Chains A and B, each alone.
Chain A
Amino acid sequence: MRFIAEDAIPRLLEHLAGGGRTVWAPRVVRDSVNTVLFAPWSAGEPVETGAYTHLSAKAALLPPTERLFGFGYLQAAGEERIELEPEEPEESPVLFGARVCDARALAALDALFFPASGGFNDPGYAGRRSGLTVITLACTTCDSACFCSSFGKGPAETDGSDLILYPVANGFLAEPVTDAGSELVRLDLFQDSRLEKPELAVTARVETAGLREKFIDLFSDIDLWRQVSEKCLSCGFCAYACPACHCFNIFDEMSGDREGERCRSWDSCMFYSYTLETSGHNPRPEIAHRYRNRIGHKFSYFPANRGEILCTGCGRCIRGCPAGVDIREVIRTVQER
């Protein structure tokens, strides 16, 4: 296998950024509270290869707010006209330091936003996705919130990655998954190595088999949903942190009174206003209704429609929930009914 020394990583990132591509990497963005997030990297900045990111890597593909098109009202020859200016697709970035749980969530996003995977033509997503390079850091340790071992090959999953880096003494063993990955390990930043791949982490497990049907059977058991969501504040953090949550809002923003832009932004089905109708009617008025939808979409509806579970066991919603809601306990409670 090939090996790259820890201190060669900045040069690898410089190489990747060389063609003008944006390199996203885990970075400490707020020292005071030690917040680590995926963010665009520039030369000289430190990269966090050891810590977990508080939010997933999805912002590299689905920005929190994204312009869909610009518009303007023009006066020409006494007549008003509308101009529409679709956003030019961005160049595909490099995602360095994703975890297996970030990379494998791409399959779910692709199923919706990427025509090559049967999704819609979403020019913004497709532009960023088509030449995306994903360099994943394998996990040899985990924390108490991780539960990716519940899904597929767990920490050994290679789906979504181009190159996987396994931490070893003073650096990383590099295992290519795709041609793009193979090309990278031919760089002279990498050397041959006889080291063995390290043991990967073994995380907590929950049983997801049968959940698709079980959820439908228990849909009407509102007491169950009230019980599992009792602590939830409906704050929406879990959706923003999640690598697989992708629901969005669309809104117009004017700049002056002749032009503006239509944008979309991350949204969450945990918000009361998400389904609120103009009449005042809301099909999901209670937090329990909304939390039920969150679980249903992830483990029943999306699997039925697109064949993917919308959870990779990354644990971010568990670590970050201000109320201590643990999606694993919810799944266990549902499975035990």
Chain B
Amino acid sequence: MSTIPKSGINAKIPLLPERASITRVIQETPAVRTYRLVFDDPGMMAAFSFEPGQIGQMSILGAGESTFAISSPPSQKDYIQFSVMKTGVVTTAIHELSAGDRVAVRAPMGRPFPVNAWKGKDIVIAGGGIGMAPLRSLLMHLLDHRGDFGRIQAVYGARTPADLCFAGDREEWERRDDIEFIATVDSGHPDWSGSVGVVPGVLESMSPPPANAVAVTCGPPVMIKYTLESLEKLGFAADQVFTTLERRMKCGVGLCGRCNVGAKYVCTDGPVFSLRDLRALPDEL
């Protein structure tokens, strides 16, 4: 049932984290900061590998541990990146960190997006808010292996232009002609010349063809709800649609019992689920 992490974590003792250090902090939005970090053990860093969609647990020892999607792509061997929204105790402590500070990390965990099964297919990505973090990893991975996939269409939404993360990446995605990328905001701003409108609406206007395609969506629950409706309208079947679930987590390895939805554990059976798998779960989201 469960996948025991094989690297980046002291697999002999799953609850014991590895020491790591922050190398860079990027202020993405007023509420979100991106942290780049490296394991203090160079051997651990060299051996670290993961797939897009996998998660990690970052600890500020003394404050606690929290779960984040890895937002860097697997090809990035110099650092691991988490993009953290400030909400509660641990994330507030994380927001006080700067380059050089010491943390502890357990990663990678969870099941990734099944990207190898998507080779040769068109890919549709719809992200909202901090839900873009795992999708950044995914999108960069797809672009690293551009020839393996068909058409790539992506929409990324936030409330206002100031709430959009990943400015540098967005510029590149907009510039490239091998991907159709639209950043959109719920409400505009005089300086904003881009799309105004919610993610599901923009997605529909891009009218991605469902034949031989998969769609991936992560974001706030309302956005997911309407995006799934839009995808259905566009003709996507439940086994063509993937999303990630969030549950409060502690152990991250299927032991503490906290993150179950029915008999499935978000930490080990997820966080990535197909819509078909989700529909088979008890309705307790």
A250 in contact with B65 given A274-B258, A276-B248 (CB within 8 Å): yes
| 242-262 of chain B: CB within 8 A of chain A | 246-248, 250-251, 253-258, 260-262
Task: For residue B91, give the distance in angstroms from its CB to the closest CB of chain A.
Answer: 8
**A contact residues around B91 at 8 Å (CB):** 278
Q: Given A250-B250, A305-B263, list of 4 further CB < 8 A pairs?
A: A81-B102, A120-B254, A219-B282, A249-B256
A283 in contact with B19 given A81-B102, A86-B13 (CB within 8 Å): no
Closest to B87 in A: A278
B257 near A248: Cβ-Cβ < 8 Å: yes
B63 near A252: Cβ-Cβ < 8 Å: yes
Task: For residue B130, give the distance in angstroms from its CB to the closest CB of chain A.
Answer: 11
A304 in contact with B257 given A73-B102, A278-B88 (CB within 8 Å): no
- Complex Cα gap A305–B265 (Å): 10
- Complex Cα gap A257–B271 (Å): 35
Binary contact readout B1-20 vs A (1 if CB under 8 angstroms, 0 otherwise):
10010000000111111010
Task: For residue B61, give the distance in angstroms from its CB to the closest CB of chain A.
Answer: 4
**B contact residues around A99 at 8 Å (CB):** none
- Complex Cα gap A170–B284 (Å): 55
A84 near B260: Cβ-Cβ < 8 Å: no
A260 near B61: Cβ-Cβ < 8 Å: yes
B263 near A248: Cβ-Cβ < 8 Å: no
Determine which of A82, A113, A220, A275 lies in contact with B255 in the assembled complex, contact meaning CB atoms within 8 Å.
Answer: A113
Q: Is B104 an interface residue (CB 8 A)?
A: yes
- Complex Cα gap A86–B165 (Å): 38
Closest to A268 in B: B257
Interface-facing stretch out of A39-47, A180-188, A295-303:
A295-303
B260 near A262: Cβ-Cβ < 8 Å: no
Q: Is A122 an interface residue (CB 8 A)?
A: yes
Classify chain A: how many residues form its interface, as a range. 35 or more
Q: Is B62 an interface residue (CB 8 A)?
A: yes
A297 in contact with B12 given A84-B19, A252-B61 (CB within 8 Å): no
A219 near B263: Cβ-Cβ < 8 Å: no
A84 near B16: Cβ-Cβ < 8 Å: yes
Q: List 5 A-B contacts (CB under 8 A).
A: A71-B104, A82-B102, A219-B283, A250-B64, A300-B263
Q: Is A281 an interface residue (CB 8 A)?
A: yes
- Complex Cα gap A227–B40 (Å): 54
Task: For residue A334, give the distance in angstroms from its CB to the closest CB of chain B.
Answer: 15
B250 near A249: Cβ-Cβ < 8 Å: yes
A254 near B104: Cβ-Cβ < 8 Å: no
A301 near B262: Cβ-Cβ < 8 Å: yes
A68 near B15: Cβ-Cβ < 8 Å: yes
Q: Is B285 an interface residue (CB 8 A)?
A: yes
Q: Is B235 an interface residue (CB 8 A)?
A: no
**B contact residues around A281 at 8 Å (CB):** 221
Q: Is A269 an interface residue (CB 8 A)?
A: yes
Task: For residue A254, give the distance in angstroms from its CB to the closest CB of chain B.
Answer: 5
**A contact residues around B261 at 8 Å (CB):** 283
Determine which of A121, A220, A262, A269 lies in contact with B257 in the assembled complex, contact meaning CB atoms within 8 Å.
Answer: A269
**A contact residues around B103 at 8 Å (CB):** 82
Q: Is A284 an interface residue (CB 8 A)?
A: yes
Task: For residue A126, give the distance in angstroms from its CB to the closest CB of chain B.
Answer: 10
A304 near B263: Cβ-Cβ < 8 Å: yes
Closest to A269 in B: B257
**B contact residues around A82 at 8 Å (CB):** 19, 61, 102-104
A216 near B282: Cβ-Cβ < 8 Å: yes
- Complex Cα gap A293–B284 (Å): 10
- Complex Cα gap A305–B15 (Å): 21
Q: Is A246 an interface residue (CB 8 A)?
A: yes
